[in-house]
Chain A
Amino acid sequence: MTAPKIKLTDVHKRFGEKVVLDGIDLEVAPGESLVIIGGSGSGKSVTLKCILDLLTPDSGSIEIDGESLTGMGRSDRERINRKFGMLFQGAALFDSLPVWENVAFGLIQGHRMNRSEAKEIALEKLAAVGLGAEVGELSPAELSGGMQKRVGLARAIATEPEIIFFDEPTTGLDPIMGDVINDLIVKCVKELGATALSITHDMASARKISDHIAMLYKGKIIWIGQTADIDNSGEPHVDQFIHGRAEGPIQMELRQL
């Protein structure tokens, strides 16, 4: 068995009184694409942000390629960060920069590449997500939501990272554009041979882009398995979630009318 690319052991995170992650255990093998599903507010984004060092877990350990991130020095941390690419939920493009510079950002700032060389690569990556060179000169505010997501994807893959994170890549898009993004994700991850960790509550997307699916509920991973097995998980929470039923073991925290 190969060593896991990403490994979380007993990760806890709370905000004030509110416990968000209550002991997450998770492993992602190299080249695997794992999708975490779970309801809104279940802590999916928080999980990603803990791995990305945007939030610090209260306890537990996170390892990347066998190296523990806790207590890691700044330069090691930066070296690990360079293995990462991330597509944010709202694309999070820098609106002060033109599209091509957004895509080239990691190359220019992180990898100290000169601007003209970085621009060439940026335009290549834009082409890979189906956007022409003329889009590169626009500002992000001039793009539709779907195009912004594509630019976000191009930015995430521009530095050819070993691990790519996708935070709800299809949320807020129409089904067709959602599927276009799914196809692009599958294609880009495959071309790079990257490990992918995505989070979503869109089951169609989850099925399409994953090899494995894990379900996050009440701060824990309650089920993990092959994507093909999700329909026979035998886990009532998973069944309720994938069929989108209001009745079941998962109770929305709503007050009774």
Chain B
Amino acid sequence: MNPFQPVGKALLGFLEATGKLALFTFISVSHCVRPPFYYRLLGRQMIDIGYYSLPVVGMTTLFAGMALGLQTYAGFSRFSAEGAIAKVVALGITRELGPVLAGLMVAGRIGAAMAAELGTMRVTEQIDALDTLSTNPFKYLIAPRIIAGLTMLPLLVFVGDIIGIFGGYIVSVYKLGFNPGVYISQTFKVLEFVDVFSGLVKAATFGFIVTLMGCYNGYNSRGGAQGVGAATTNAVVSASILILIFNYIITELFLAA
């Protein structure tokens, strides 16, 4: 057998999958920007993604900020630079940890749920039923989810940023005995608009990735309960990997700018 055959086959499969995803993305986005819009459904998705993810994102960023504060102290005190805790926490949370952690948590919470819901609708023919009732599933199911992800993640991350910085504050003030006023003034002094803004751009991108992968895998699932399970796993794994890849790319772009 030709040793290149499996390689070629894998490559073709990869190209086909990429093309399919690109087409799906294009159709989804075109429905996101063209009326009519289903405001009721959009509202429900926004609440589900934005409001109900708050506890998870809040907890994650709080403890991330606290750990970051401790680590910075442990590391920087070796150079007698422990005064930099507030700055490291503020920059680390807003630029990296806030968006990435929120993105990953929402991938687990929302991406999985979307893939499972749409996957179940697919295998029970509910998506076909939508079509026969003169309702485009992209408009009715997918557009509201993607718009909600795109708009709610930045909000979530913004709140997460504040909570994360507060986590660093708790550790510095109550455990390490730093002056609270100094901590806060240093935080404000170091933070620039672009730090927060780049984090929010990341958040919007991750919101798009998570909802897109959830919808894509759910919409294309087949083969009963097992297929829905596979779609759910794929949605979370692919969204998580893409989040980390795009996190790097956006970081690079902002540093270059």
Chain A interface residues (CB < 8 Å from chain B)? 49, 52-54, 78, 81-82, 84-86, 88-90, 92-95, 105-106, 109-111, 155
Contacts and interface: CB of A to CB of B under 8 A. Distances in A.
A95 B129 CA distance: 12
Interface in B105-157: 121, 124-126, 128-135, 140
B3 to A, nearest CB: 25
Contacts of A92: 124-126, 128-129
Contacts of A86: 129, 132
B131 A110 contact: no
B178 to A, nearest CB: 50
B132 A90 contact: no
Contacts of A54: 128, 131-132
A110 B128 contact: no
B128 A88 contact: yes
Nearest to A107: B133
Nearest to A89: B125
21 contacts: A52-B128, A52-B132, A54-B131, A54-B132, A78-B134, A81-B131, A81-B132, A88-B125, A88-B129, A92-B124, A92-B125, A92-B128, A92-B129, A93-B129, A94-B126, A106-B133, A109-B133, A109-B135, A110-B133, A110-B134, A155-B133
A94 B128 CA distance: 11
Interface residues of B, number: 13
Given A92-B125, A109-B133, 8 more contacts: A78-B134, A81-B134, A94-B130, A105-B135, A106-B133, A106-B134, A110-B133, A155-B133
A90 B133 contact: no
B123 to A, nearest CB: 9
B128 A109 contact: no
A92 B133 CA distance: 12
Contacts of B131: 52-54, 81
Contacts of B132: 52, 54, 81, 84-86
Nearest to A106: B133
A95 B128 CA distance: 14
Contacts of B133: 105-106, 109-110, 155
A228 to B, nearest CB: 32
A90 B124 contact: yes
Contacts of B130: 94
The 7 closest A-B pairs by CB, nearest first: A110-B134, A92-B125, A92-B129, A106-B133, A86-B132, A109-B135, A88-B125
A52 B132 CA distance: 7
A82 B16 CA distance: 34
A93 B129 CA distance: 8
Interface string B178-191: 00000000000000
A89 B125 CA distance: 9
A248 B87 CA distance: 83
A93 B132 CA distance: 12
Given A90-B124, A92-B124, A109-B140, A82 B129 contact: no
B134 A82 contact: yes
B4 to A, nearest CB: 23
A251 B128 CA distance: 32
Nearest to B125: A92
Contacts of B135: 105, 109-110
A121 to B, nearest CB: 14
A52 B128 CA distance: 9
A188 B139 CA distance: 31
Contacts of B128: 49, 52, 54, 88, 92
